[in-house]
Every structure is written in C-alpha cells, then in structure tokens.
Amino acid sequence: MNKYLFPVYAIIIGVIIAFLTKKQKSIGTKLLLSFSGAFLLALTLFDLLPEVYHHIDAKQTGLFIMCGILLQIILEFFSKGAEHGHVHIHKDDTAFPWLLFVSLCLHSFLEGFPIHQHNDMVYGVLIHKIPIAALITTFLLQSSYTKVQIVSFLVLFAAMTPLGTYISNNTAIATEYINIVNAIVIGIFLHISTTILFETGEGHKFNLSKLVAICLGVLIAYFI
C-alpha cells in the first residue's frame, strides 16, 4: 500500500513546506532538491538500471533511455523545467496553466511504473516529489489562480504516480513492455537528477552544503 501512498504523502509534505516557508524559496528547499536529485540518481543506477539491462538487449536499452531523455527535454518545453525545481508562473495570469499541468502529470504518471518491480524506487520518487511539490505550491499560491484551481492541480498531480503504479501492477502488460517503459523512465530520471546536480549554487558556502547533501543522498541510497 505504501507504494501507492508515498507519492501522495510527498505532495502533502511539499504543500506543508510551502506554507511553513511563507511562500518563499528557502535554502533548505534547495538543499532538499539537491539531496533528492542525488538520491534519485543513485537509486536509478543501483537498482533500476541493472535490472533493465538484464531483461533487454543492451543497445536497445540505451536507445530507450535516450528516448526518455529526449521525452523529458520535450516535456520541459511545456513545463519550463518544473520537474527539477524551475516553476515560472506569471502572478497576473488567471488562465489555467494547461501545458504545465499536462507535462507534470505525464511525467508523474510515467515515474510510477518502475515502482511495480523496484519497491526501493518509491523512496526515490518520494524524496524527489517533496521539494518539487513545495516549489510548485509556492508559485501557485503566489499566482492569481483560484483556490479550486490550485487544489485541483495538486490533487490530480498527486494522483498520477499512484495511477502509473496501479496500471503497471494490475493490467496485463507484457513484461517486455514494462521494461521498455522503465528504460524510458531511467532516461527521464537521469535528465532530471543530473540537471539538479549540475546547477550552479549560490556562493561557495551553498556549494559546500550542496555537496554534503549530494553525498548524503548517494550514501543513503546505497544502503537502502
């Protein structure tokens, strides 16, 4: 049951963080984002990548991973990088951000698939979603959208990952296709996590804190 609920808990925790930080970006949120990027990348390399290479031809696996990277780049044309912490919403814009919404939902839906075979991946998704949810909530609260629009956005966004996990667990999808989807998701995870890790910090002090957060993320992922 936790594999369905953990991604939802992540959204709830992110929303709480957004309210506690008084709608402002904080260094803590940025460090959590760095930690989540390292944690997600490490789990992908330690658990998900070897399993996919075991079931699919190596060259085909590489092709599907590249497709995942390209898919995430395409999604970011519409989301403007919200999947790794860049949310750009105009405060005076009252039109619902459909492109952002659809892009984030598709991303969240796909990241639910690897949880089918790799229960450890649910922790990577959990940690990844918390700072993203906090940043998205922060910008939604600063926008001119109605409360109904904001709540609907967050509820549907929270439901997408459990939906992906449910489909991968309860539908008659061939194992081969599940592994193909997982390879695509690996590409998505690689793009997002490396983008987070390679972003420039704000000053040497922040860079040191970021390095510690990254090392901690890798270490915890290794011993899970």
Q: DSSP for 183-215?
A: HHHHHHHHHHHHHHHHSPPSSHHHHHHHHHHHH
Residue 10 lies in a domain: yes
Residue 154 lies in a domain: yes
Does 204 score more than 60 pLDDT? no
Does 205 score more than 60 pLDDT? no
Does 65 score more than 90 pLDDT? yes
Residue 22 lies in a domain: no
Residue 202 lies in a domain: yes
CA angle 176, 179, 185 (to 5 degrees): 150
| Contact in structure between 138 and 18 (CB atoms under 8 Å) | yes
Residue 172 lies in a domain: yes
pTM: 0.88
Range(s) of the domain holding residue 39 = 2-14+27-85+93-223
Residue 20 lies in a domain: no
3-state SS string for 46-66: HHHHHHHHHHCCHHHHHHHHH
Say how many domains are in the chain.
Answer: 1
CA angle 148, 153, 156 (to 5 degrees): 115
Q: What is the mean pLDDT of the chain?
A: 85
In Å, how far from its chain's centre is CA 174?
A: 25
| Single-letter amino acid code for the residue at 163 | L
Residue 21 lies in a domain: no
| CA distance linking residue 50 with residue 2, whole number of Å | 24
Model confidence at 199, pLDDT cuts 50, 70, 90, reads: confident
Model confidence at 28, pLDDT cuts 50, 70, 90, reads: confident
Residue 125 lies in a domain: yes
| Contact in structure between 60 and 187 (CB atoms under 8 Å) | no
For the residues 146-174, what does the mean pLDDT come to? Answer: 88
CA distances from 117 to 104, 157, 179, 193, 221 (A): 23, 22, 10, 21, 17
* DSSP count for the chain of H helices, then E strands: 9, 0
Three-class DSSP category at 97: coil
Three-class DSSP category at 77: helix
| CA distance linking residue 22 with residue 25, whole number of Å | 9
Does 4 score more than 90 pLDDT? no
Does 73 score more than 60 pLDDT? yes
